[in-house]
Amino acid sequence: MRSATIGAVVALGAVATALVLVDRGGVPSILDSSGCTAEVDGHTVDIELEQAENAALITAVSIERGLPARAASIALATAFQESKLYNIDYGDRDSVGLFQQRPSQGWGTVAQLTDPVYATNAFYDALVKVEGYREMDITVAAQEVQRSAFPDAYADHEDDARALASALTGNSPGTMWCDVPGDADEAADDLDEQGLVTRAAAVRRDLEERFGPLSLGGFEPEGVSSGHMEGSAHYEGRAIDIFFRPINAENQQRGWALATYLVANADRLDINTLIFDDRIWHAGSRSDDGWTDYRVPSSSGGDHAILEHRDHVHVDVID
């Protein structure tokens, strides 16, 4: 009986210790369900938010460079194998970063290779020099760049890499979403000179850094006062529209690529709502519902192509 009591006390102590560690950030909370999911052609990939952000960046760089989706698939399979899509500052010998590139092999300095944008561009710089990489098996193309001691290991990640690349390049629309809390530490602040609150301005800068020049609207100096539905976040300077005109298959793919990048970075950028191509995603309690049908309010008039967001991605940030 006494041993049973001692055992119960020890168990309770272990639970208490675990709770303290969770509270102090020592280990991830078992109650934390945050993460992202991609479902493409019957294949499902579940990854953590940090992994999703890195996957989205790797893919966005390929898009900005005008590379095919195959390049993103190869890069993602490589990063899965080398770092599990985490930007780590350690590795075998002097390897660091998403792709475990080695300063001693001429890839760059440690500071450069732990910059995800630099590391990703360095990978693509090497990949595009591989003749016929578009037709190669993913693992073969990856090995041509990496020269790994385990040349076949990249094949283990081909299915996941293809699914993520297809979703993030917009080839498979609305097939990736994230479960995020949808909260922020501070309330929205005053408008800047462009008519945006700080968080919305940060989204604008981020998009232009990742995708280059974009056709933007939905904001103006001193704020907008008309042209949007009643209660719109545009009137508070919390929303941006990114236009992809005319409405055609190519622009739909580009729009979905940008929308999927945003959903993968929703937690980091404090995004509240995304709408594109008559689909909507919400942060918070509904975020794990994924992309659902967008219902235009019955009282709305005007061009339904615009109201359904067929020609633009709408993004608004947390209030």
Q: Express each pLDDT in 15-72 by its tens digit.
A: 343 333 333 233 444 455 799 999 999 999 999 999 999 999 999 999 999 999 999 9
C-beta atoms surrounding 231 within 10 Å: 9
User: What are the pLDDT digits (tens) for 121-180?
Assistant: 999 999 999 999 999 999 999 999 999 878 889 999 999 999 999 999 999 999 999 999
Query: Hey, where are the domains in the chain?
Result: 36-172, 183-317
57-72, pLDDT tens digit by residue?
999 999 999 999 999 9
Say what the pLDDT of residue 309 is: 96
Distance CA 69, CA 58 (A): 11
CATH number of this structure's domain 36-172: 1.10.530
Q: How far apart are CA 282 and CA 284, in angstroms?
A: 7
Q: Which residues pair with 253 in a beta bridge?
A: none
pLDDT tens for residues 68-99? 999 999 999 999 999 999 999 999 999 999 99
Question: Apex CA 282: angle with CA 53 and CA 311, to 5°?
Answer: 85
What's the confidence (pLDDT) of residue 186? 77
